[in-house]
Amino acid sequence: MPVKYHIHTAPVPNRFPTVIRSGVIAWEEGCLKCPKCVKRECVYGVYDKRGLDSRLMSDSLDSLCKDCFRCVQNCPNRLIHKALNPDYKNLGDHYWTPEIISKLWFQAETGRIPVSGAGYGGPFSGSGFDAMWTDMSEIVRPTRDGILGREYISTQVDLGRKHQALEFDTLGNLLSPPYPSVEIPIPIIFDILPWSPPRDRINHTLLRAAKKINTFSIITQEDWHPSLQRYLNHIMLYLTGDPEGFDKEILKKLRLIEIPDGLKVLEIQKWLKGINPEAVIAVRIPLNPQAKDRALELTQSGLEILHFMADEFGRDQGEAPLFIKDRIKEVHLHLVKNGFRDQITLLAGGGVAMAEDLAKLIICGADAVTVDIPLLVALECRVCRRCAEGIPCPVNIAQIYPPRGQARIRNLIAGWYNQLLEVMGAMGIREARRLRGEMGRAMFFEDLEREIFLPLHKRN
């Protein structure tokens, strides 16, 4: 049995105080001067460590507080209160919510799964990925406990085209030439960031992290720099311009190359294969209502990887935008229906915000998932998008120290990896390859609603 894949983690404190959910309001007027003050009895010592952070002019008390509410409840004159932090409410947007951002910060800092001892207090259904539930029927089997279980759970996936069937001659010699293939131990690839400050150090950070966990980071042709050559084994180069103008010696060494979809996509693939026959070529395709037909057409034409991209909120480009999980499910089932699904690799990205989104997108039919904004959040991004408007970043991500940023991204992916193991273990699935397209092991709110209420509507 091969050595079990593992991502080593270590705590990496934030450079800046995180924006916490609630703040402490401590009134001094009316204090009874108790001999045993609740502030001195704080088990976390937050009042003893209290100070002013000169960088953000904020009270350290709020970021140190663990929300145990012991001081609030035990102060005899009720002089200590907790209030919702307005800065926390203003984080992100309707999709990249403060709760998601704070969880990503926690994982990037600790490498642990964010678990609340108070349980889950939110709604059990919603839009997007929240309208889908995974099967947990095997969760009672301790041997399949994802992280600590004795059974081996593989998250390795293969990227590239595959034969529908192998052909041999009468002597048993293989007649089907093998297609080039790339294996990654975790179904995650780092995608192009939709917005960010200047990406020089950020690209080095992403590539260092990709090398550490043995995956790939997509680098655009415009962002290419000779200093990135030491990461060639972990670069998926996106050729946005004229590929013939790019350094052919670099193209010969790359394992993965991506090109945009278009009229000349087959010509460009043929030209690249002439330079580097062992490279696996991916096509980046905007997710839209025609995605399933385009997927079938490109698969029949001999493409190897189809990379479908939704926007940063997980929506496609249709007039009535469909969410990424629904559109990828449609593409997957269309290829299954026509008998081509096992020949092609599907990548999907856009709107993937948490580890559960990763597992759900694979269940809907993707072989692997590309991640973008969570990587920025791991570097302490607040999803304010000021950099996209030319306004300086409040946490100065452009000046991130690459080894430190790499460690935080490694921690984030380690947390996601452990959550993926937990989901697969609870479903009784031991291979990520088997997780792909297992829609019978999931429930979709739209299907349940239709099954329950449509018969009632017909009766009327």
Q: What is the CATH number of the domain that holds 376?
A: 3.20.20.70
Q: How many CB atoms lie within 10 A of CB 440?
A: 8
Q: Is residue 230 a part of any domain in this protein?
A: yes
If asked whether residues 174 and 323 sit together in one domain, one would say yes
Token pair 């026959």: residue = 277
Residue 156: name the closest of 131, 182, 177 by CA: 182
My answer on whether 215 and 332 are in the same domain is: yes
Residues 6+ apart with CB under 8 A from 239: 221, 246, 257, 258, 259, 260, 268
Distance (Å, rounded) from C-alpha 375 to C-alpha 104? 9
Domain boundary among 373, 401, 429: 401
Same domain, 76 and 167: no
Whether residue 149 is contained in a domain is answered as no
| N-term to C-term CA, the chain | 60
Q: Do residues 269 and 377 share a domain?
A: yes
Residues 252 and 365 in one domain: yes
Per-residue pLDDT of the chain (460 residues; tens, 9 = 90+): 567 888 999 999 998 888 888 777 777 778 888 888 888 888 888 888 777 665 555 666 676 777 788 888 888 888 888 888 888 888 999 999 999 999 999 999 999 988 765 566 667 788 899 999 998 877 666 445 556 666 788 999 999 999 888 888 888 888 888 899 999 999 999 999 999 999 999 999 999 999 999 999 999 999 999 999 999 999 999 999 889 999 999 999 999 999 999 999 999 999 999 999 999 999 999 999 999 999 999 999 999 999 999 999 999 998 999 999 999 999 999 999 999 999 999 999 999 999 999 999 999 999 999 999 999 999 999 999 999 898 999 999 999 999 999 999 999 999 999 999 988 888 888 899 999 999 998 999 888 888 887 777 665 5
Question: Structural domain tally of the chain?
Answer: 2
Is residue 353 situated within a structural domain?
Answer: yes
Asked whether residue 133 is domain-assigned, the answer is no
Cα(134)–Cα(37) distance, integer angstroms: 48
Domain boundary (38, 58, 90) is at 90
62 is in which domain, residue-wise?
A: 22-90
Residue 139 within a domain: no
Same domain, 65 and 162: no
With 0-12 CB in 10 A as exposed, 13-18 as middle and 19+ as buried, what is 62? buried
Whether 283 maps to a domain, the answer reads: yes
Based on the fold, state whether residues 75 and 210 are members of the same structural domain. Answer: no
**CATH number of the domain bearing residue 46:** 3.30.70
86/172 same-domain check: no
The per-residue pLDDT for 136 is: 82
Instruction: Please tell me whether residues 184 and 322 are part of one structural domain.
Output: yes
Domain end (from 74, 90, 106): 90
- Indicate if 78 and 182 belong to the same structural domain: no
- Asked, for residue 113, whether it belongs to a domain, the answer is no
pTM of the entire predicted model:
0.90
In a domain, 453, yes or no: no
